[in-house]
Structure 1
């Protein structure tokens, strides 16, 4: 079994198409097909089911893929660790984050870190909550900033930086726009603008509403925090939004009102692999984050 065979196998498995994999690898399709055939012959099993030009993993192929992805991650980390051992300040950190932390929390933290370590490179991956957890668990990214922080995942370890409120964002002509605070139940009959099903911030709000005996009437959905804010500004509904997302970016034609009953909150922090040690440069950034957020008062509980 050769590393090249494994790399070709993983690429074909991800794309479920030999030609697409070959194009991405910048090699001839025949070379990819030959290496896959040789690998299957050596293992004595079929890793793929052929369906015309497409391929799908067999059950044993899926098991093999999981092990090979772990093996490749170990090899890549070994190469990175040797390089970073010589100079942690020259390494690369792969960090994931959701859109709700993209405008303030993530840029502020990275800016502060680069003041100390200007030569460290970052590979940034914006994604949905559960997808980021999966990427950290599989080793495709080194860590992820998340809110809320998952504390009971088997493959990732969570650390909390701070807890923040979710506040109501309303159009400026809303009937409650002049209030200094409001109860969530006062929005029972409003149209809500939320993330789609499967997004954690939607789950947080729906759960809070359920405790009050109602389900939010969702009129629009958006996968990006700025899109949701824009729809509220256009007068199309209301939403609850993490306070950190509006530090420097409150849309015109909207008002922000604290929700005091019930107080809806989320934790914000970082997740790292539970069973895999951080490399030197990753470790530098992780401990920087823990110190950074403990020292900055604007992130602490009131």
Structure 2
């Protein structure tokens, strides 16, 4: 079995079309077909079902594909690691983050890091909480910033970077807009603007409301933090939001009010796989995150 055969097999499997795979690979269709035939002959199984010009994986072909996908990732990581060890200051950091960290936390940390290591590149992936955890476990990304930091969970490790307050964001004409602080219970008659089901911040907020004896009315669900702020700005509801997302400015016609509910804080941390080592540039950024936010926390104190 040759690496070239695996490369051709993966391309055909993903495109389900030999001609399109050959065009992508920049070689003749006959060469692709011949390598696939040789691979099947060596394995003594049919990997594809031929349907005219299209192909699809057989059951054993699907199993073989999943193994080869993992093997290809190992080979690519090995290639990247060798290149980075030759020049670790020119590696690539593959990192994920949620919407609530897109505007300030991630840009601030990367900007500070790039002042020290200007040639390191970043591959950025935005997603929601559980999706990011699974992508780290699968190896699609190498690390992720999350809030809160997951508890004991198999296949991942992590470090807390800092903790932050969750505050209320209200329209400026809200009856409680002139308060210096409020309780979540004060908002039980209000319409909430929140993330959809499956987002961890949504769970934190709804769980807090349920513990206080009411189920929040949620007529608006959006996946983007700026959209949430925009709907509150338009007077369509209230929200509870990480204070760091308001650090640069408040949306027009809104007020930020601290919560007396002291437990409404969340930890922010970074996770990586416990089954794989970070590549040199990624490990450097991981350690930088811990030192960077530790300095900020000390300064705040």
> Smaller-chain TM-score range?
0.7 to 0.9
Match of 2:275 in 1: 275
Is contact 2:162–2:297 with CA below 8 Å preserved after alignment?
Answer: no
Q: Within 5 Å, give how 1:217-296 maps onto structure 2.
A: 217-261=217-261, 263-296=263-296
2:185 corresponds in structure 1 to 185
Q: What residue number does 2:97 align with?
A: 97
Secondary structure in 2 matching 1:296: helix
Distance in 1 (CA, whole Å) between partners of 2:173 and 2:96 is: 37
Give 1:122 deviation, angstroms: 1.3
Stretch deviating more after TM superposition (195-204 or 6-15): 6-15
Supply the distance in 2 between the matched residues of 1:172 and 1:279 (Cα, whole angstroms): 48
- SS of 1:134's equivalent in the other structure is helix
* Residue 193 of structure 1, CA deviation: 0.9
Structure-2 separation of matches of 1:232 and 1:22: 52
Deviation at 1:87, TM superposition (A): 1.8
Separation in structure 1 between the aligned mates of residue 23 and residue 150 of structure 2, nearest angstrom = 38
Gaps of 5+ in 1: none
Alpha-carbon RMSD across the aligned residues, in angstroms, is: 2.8
Question: What's the counterpart of residue 86 of structure 1?
Answer: 86
Using the alignment, how far apart are the partners of 1:24 and 1:299 within structure 2?
A: 53
What is the alpha-carbon distance in structure 1 between the residues aligned to residue 55 and residue 257 of structure 2? 53
TM-score, normalisation: structure 1: 0.87
8 Å contact from structure 1 (residues 183, 262) kept in 2 = no
Give 1:75's aligned residue: 75
Q: 2:109 maps to what in 1? A: 109
Farther-moved stretch of structure 1 (111-120 vs 256-265) = 256-265
Q: Which runs of 5+ in 2 are unaligned?
A: none
Compared CA separation, residues 99 and 182, structure 1 to 2 (3 A) = same
**Structure 1's 168 and 23: CA in aligned 2 closer, same or farther, altered over 3 A?**
farther
How far the C-alpha of 1:291 sits from its partner, in A, is: 0.7
Q: Given the superposition, is the C-alpha separation of residues 110 and 60 from structure 1 closer, same or farther in structure 2, using an over 3 Å criterion?
A: same
Contact 1:47 1:61 in 2 (8 A): yes
How far off is 1:172 after superposition? 0.8
**Residues 1:10 and 1:184: Cα distance change in structure 2 (over 3 Å):** farther
User: Which of the two has higher C-alpha Rg?
Assistant: 2
| TM-score w.r.t. length of structure 2 | 0.87
Aligned equivalent of 1:209: 209
Secondary structure class of the residue paired with 2:256: strand
